[in-house]
Amino acid sequence: MTSARTRERLVERLRLNGIANTEVLDRIRDVPRHIFVDEALASRAYEDTALPLGRGQTISQPYVVAAMTEELVRDEGDGRTLGKVLEIGTGCGYQTAVLAAFVRHVFSVERIQSLFRRAQGNLQSLGISNVSLRHADGWHGWRSQAPFDGILVTAAPETVPEELLEQLEDGGRLVLPVGAPGGQSLVSMTRRGTQFERRELLRVSFVPLVKGIET
Ligand code: SAH
């Protein structure tokens, strides 16, 4: 159920659904998603669906993780390298683990302490060391580490948070779901000086970006 064949089937499905970046597809094949979910759900870890994490949160659908990563690294090498990337909404750390292969360092913020701890354990067990995690409210970004070459948000605000746009490097890109439950789009904003180039990628369904922290 967590076999090479099961993982290959997932990768094939993402390819058919339009994920073209082979490095992203390879990374999805290599990161063991079953260690990020509860044991009872491990047999479903390579289905292309979101799964519950507890505390009302979910591990994102692999297709959406791949699409967000692909968008974040788009035109890398074209004078654009990803040194520092900020992630808001670590959850269990699955998206963080996928991202870590494409970035010098990932800074990731989670508002629920138990998930923050769980992500720490998961990333450690995979030997992923270019990640710094923080238990904090991601609405404010991570000011002392700004500016970032990329920012990825895995919970949905109703409008794009200004504080996150301010923490983007020139040429850097913010990828996030925006909108009320039932009406969200995945949006990409690339900074060009004081302007932002906006692209809408697809309809998505994320948990809301909530204010404040929880223990
Ligand atoms: N990135 C995860 C998805 C987690 S779901 C994955 O790879 O599967 C979204 C996460 O965002 C939840 O864990 C939720 O607690 C967190 N979140 C919501 N609002 C937040 C905020 N203001 N700051 C930080 N994290 C937040």
Please give the distance, rounded to the nearest whole angstrom, from the Cα atom of residue 135 to the centre of ligand 1.
11
60 as an active site residue: the answer is: yes
Residue to substitute in 112, 151, 204, 205 for testing ligand 1 pocket (most ligand atoms within 8 angstroms of CB):
112
Closest Cα to atom 6, ligand 1: which residue?
A: 59
Nearest Cα neighbor of 174 from 157, 196, 143, 202 is: 196
- Catalytic residue, from 60, 108, 114, 132: name it: 60
Tokens of 5: 């064949």
Kindly state the helix (H) or strand (E) to which residue 53 belongs, with its residue range.
strand 51-54
Q: Which CATH number fits domain 50-204: 3.40.50.150, 3.40.50.300, 3.30.70.270, 3.30.750.24?
A: 3.40.50.150
Instruction: Tell if the pTM clears 0.85, that is, is over it.
Output: yes
Tokens of 131: 């990640």
Checking if the pLDDT of 117 tops 70, the result is yes
Q: Which amino acid is at 45?
A: A
Looking at residue 1, what is its pLDDT? 60
Cα-trace Rg, the chain: 16
Looking at residue 9, what is its pLDDT? 97
